[in-house]
A and B are shown apart, each in its own frame.
Chain A
Amino acid sequence: MDMLSSPPHPMTRTHRFYTYAAPSRFYALAGRLLPGLWLLAAGLAALGLYLAFFKAPTDATQGQAYRILFIHVPAAWLSMLLYLALAFWAAIGWAFKARMASLLARAIAPTGAGFTVIALLSGALWGQPSWGSWWVWDARLTSELILLFLYLGYLALVHAIEDPQRADPAGALLALVGVVNVPIIYFSVRWWNTLHQGASISLTAAPRMAETMLQALAVMSLACWAYAFAVIFTRARGLILERERDKAWVQALSKKGQAT
């Protein structure tokens, strides 16, 4: 799928976004962006944590336990956002037979699942001091749990199929069906939660947010996003080398002994 032998100059008209649909160019681009992304992630995390622990005030009802919010909520947001991204890239890969897009979807999945687990774990650790039990069937946590199964289903399916020609579209179809269902699932779980618990216990009934809390939350979310980019790009580079190992540019890469 490489149309040119070297990347076009960024200033020329031929430099388009879909230039990076070629695995070789994506590999190179990701490699160049990675150090900056890690730096960004680390910097934003440092700022976010500072705001979360030193600037945000202490909550009146929940005390210091509420500070778990600053990792729980960004993780939950990222888990949902990454699922959308996964479905999007998988669909692009299927529709345009774009290998790189399907590969990107595969790279996203473990990170998305990881954030779901972080959200669930931190939710449990928040639940215990706040509500007295390690697990609460609150709408958000239950939806996160189901989202985890959606991720696991995707991962299991694409790994069970050896032929990428079949695995990529199958995964895309599953992800699309999943993504369409996510609002339905979320709505039904929220409804189920209110029916069975009346005045719902909800971890999402967070304390009324002070300005500083919102700032901390925003920065922590951006930090998680930068981290996600960085780790997904890293994983994608590994996947590219695995899949494209027969291509000339990959052979050249190994011959030169480059580690970047």
Chain B
Amino acid sequence: MNWHSAADFFHMDGYGFFVWGSYGSALLWMLVEVGLARRRHSQALLQLSEEDVA
């Protein structure tokens, strides 16, 4: 086991900011990207149904 405790894990021997910053920003970007892609899709569907009504 690499870590003695949960606190150790987050601390990353003092490199916590850098390690979690890297993974965190990657995760953040991925969530944004997926959100934007899905929104684009649902907006396209919405526009289509609106055109139908019109």
Asked whether the complex places CB atoms of A and B closer than 8 A, the reply is: yes
Chain B, 17-54, CB within 8 A of any chain A CB? 17-19, 21-23, 25-26, 29-30, 33-34, 37-38, 40-45, 47-49, 51-52
Q: Mark A114-132, 1 if CB is under 8 A from B, else 0.
A: 1001100110011011000
Kindly identify which residue among A128, A235, A254 contacts B18, using a CB–CB cutoff of 8 Å.
A128
> Which B residues are within 8 Å of any A CB, using their own CB?
1-3, 9, 12-15, 17-19, 21-23, 25-26, 29-30, 33-34, 37-38, 40-45, 47-49, 51-52
Q: Which residue of B lies closest to A110 (CB)?
A: B33
Residues of A within 8 A of B3 (CB): 54
> Which A residues are within 8 Å of any B CB, using their own CB?
53-54, 56-58, 63-65, 67-68, 71-72, 75, 110-111, 114, 117-118, 121-122, 125-126, 128-129, 227, 230-231, 234-235, 237-239, 241-242, 245, 250-251, 253-255, 257, 259
How far, in whole Å, are A238 and B42 apart by their CA atoms in the complex?
7
Known: A54-B1, A64-B15. A122 touches B44 (CB 8 A): no
Known: A58-B2, A71-B23, A125-B22. A231 touches B37 (CB 8 A): yes
Name A's interface SS. helix
How far, in whole Å, are A118 and B9 apart by their CA atoms in the complex?
22
Residues of B within 8 A of A54 (CB): 1-3
Name B's interface SS. helix
| Cβ B26 vs Cβ A75 within 8 A | yes
Min CB gap B20→A, angstroms: 9
Residues of A within 8 A of B34 (CB): 230-231, 234
Known: A64-B15, A235-B40. A122 touches B33 (CB 8 A): no
Residues of B within 8 A of A118 (CB): 25-26, 29
How far, in whole Å, are A54 and B36 apart by their CA atoms in the complex?
33
Known: A53-B9, A234-B34, A234-B37. A125 touches B45 (CB 8 A): no
| Cβ B44 vs Cβ A65 within 8 A | no
| Cβ B49 vs Cβ A257 within 8 A | yes
Going nearest first, the 8 A-B pairs with the smallest beta carbon separation are: A254-B48, A238-B41, A238-B40, A241-B44, A122-B22, A235-B37, A65-B15, A64-B12
How far, in whole Å, are A53 and B13 apart by their CA atoms in the complex?
13
| Cβ B48 vs Cβ A122 within 8 A | no
Min CB gap A121→B, angstroms: 5
| Cβ B41 vs Cβ A237 within 8 A | yes
Residues of A within 8 A of B47 (CB): 245
